[in-house]
Structure 1
Amino acid sequence: MSKLKLSDRQLYALIEAVKLGEVIKPSQSAKRKAFSRYKIEGWENSKLTGIFYSIQRRLGLIDEVIEELVGVSPLILDPWLRATLRVAVEVAVFRDPNERTIQHLKGLAKFLSGKTHPYVGYYYYELLPRIINYVPKLDSEEKRLKWEYLFPEWFIAKMRGLLGEEAEELLKALNETLPVSLRVNRLKASVKDVENYLRRKNLRFKRSERVETVIRVLDSFNPGRLMEKGFALPQEEASAVASLILSPKPGETVVDLAAAPGGKTAHMAELMKNEGKIYAFDVDSERIKRMKQILRW
């Protein structure tokens, strides 16, 4: 597997996204704002988005590393220093950066000095070798499992107490990335129509045993064509179940809070046969734009 390559500009974008993520919610709004500032687009966007969400996912563990090295909680550090250290730990400890990327990590000292104070940049530069050479002390089974599966030690200890050796299988399962699931819009297509489309694309799939209109696609694919026609939307079983439990009827009025990007809103509209009213709200204007597009389909 090739080593991770990151440029100065990409590191700057990640740091600003992590810093903004502390004050702008949801975190994807912070990411979009920072990435736009540094013109992160296309393949760069996909690559850095994966790293950004990885930092968010293991933030507790990253902060434990920082506290061990610094001696104080990261929460009392300068915000720019905190964000830079979080990115540096993600890149140097949890990934395999190439030598050029290591040099760019060292160059962040100058970036920090410009953002806050030269002494902060000096402090980061002096600390970085300890981050690069950091090796965790995995002196218990709970710590080993915490590092591998990113669950807190108390949870791991509880699961081991309940399940014994099978606990690791549970932790592994909870870390699996599920295949894309599609929910068929029966106002415009049948489940068989969508399944036939997937067969023509030579894609493997499996129909949900819990929600009859959900199909789990086992191969990578772009659902854009199905979405544009309004035949199906990406939606997990658990999300689709919520609308089925509510079971809105034609002519009723529904209020959907935190509605964007619109999967449940669209599902409820289908169940209501587009007869009635749905008031859909969200705090994220960009996600609302996406929801409007989805609902038009």
Structure 2
Amino acid sequence: MKNKPSKIPRLSLDHVTKEYAKDVYEPSADTYLLVDAIESDAMTGRLNKCFTKSDSKTSNAFHIVEIGCGSGVVITSVYHILQQYVFPTFEKPNYFVSEFIVTDINAKALGWSQLTCVQTTLLESLELDQRIDLLIFNPPYVATELSELERAHNERQLAAAWAGGPNGTFWIDILLPCVSTLLSKDGAFYLVTIASNNPYHILQVMKTQFHLFGTITFFFFFPFQLAKQKIEKFLILNMSVQKRNFVIANGKRKGERKKGYPTPF
């Protein structure tokens, strides 16, 4: 069965200056596949459960957060997707407000996005535990030497947008233990991976260790080059909280994170 045609237009980047374009990861195949996956779930109603009014919510605000916003195309497209498919289904559409937050280690990327921006590593310094309704991460997933990742990160190089360390999962591995604590009761997490990241293992770890249930959406397309590597297949993982009854281990909830994030370097 074919998907319904998108009602969300591709965003124009004509306004972007060369000053930004040379320092910010430009939208590519993975960018638009991620947008398509989120829109597909919105069109079928699957995304609606993330934005259900609940007496357990601590505020009337929905929180949509993208880690590593780059050009800002994903978060901006998600705004239009929610306005088109999700929010109009509410009995009282204006009951809730939505806060769109992006983080990036690259200050110029934040300038490009021009939203509520925080320059940080992952979500460090944000106090959003159990408040994120939609978490989005298109991580640096290309396998590189750890020294290359460290150099790109410390020197704020453009390569930090794709250098993922051994197996391409360095940043994924740091974030995963925190996801179940960050998501709201009905929240969802979208993660872009490639085949070499071993996404099936990621899903298994999330389920057995962190109580997140996930599925994989496959996208096949013509190969393209990124950092001299040929990427043939993207797999977008969609994960949600399996249960809030965390197993108590060593006096802490299993899956609970310590204050702050590990310092990677």
TM-score tier by shorter-chain length is: under 0.3
Structure number with higher relative contact order (C-alpha < 8 Å, ≥ 6 residues apart):
2
Between structure 1 and structure 2, the one with the greater Rg is: 1
Comparing both structures, which one devotes a greater share of its residues to helix? 1
So what's the TM-score if we normalise by structure 2?
0.23
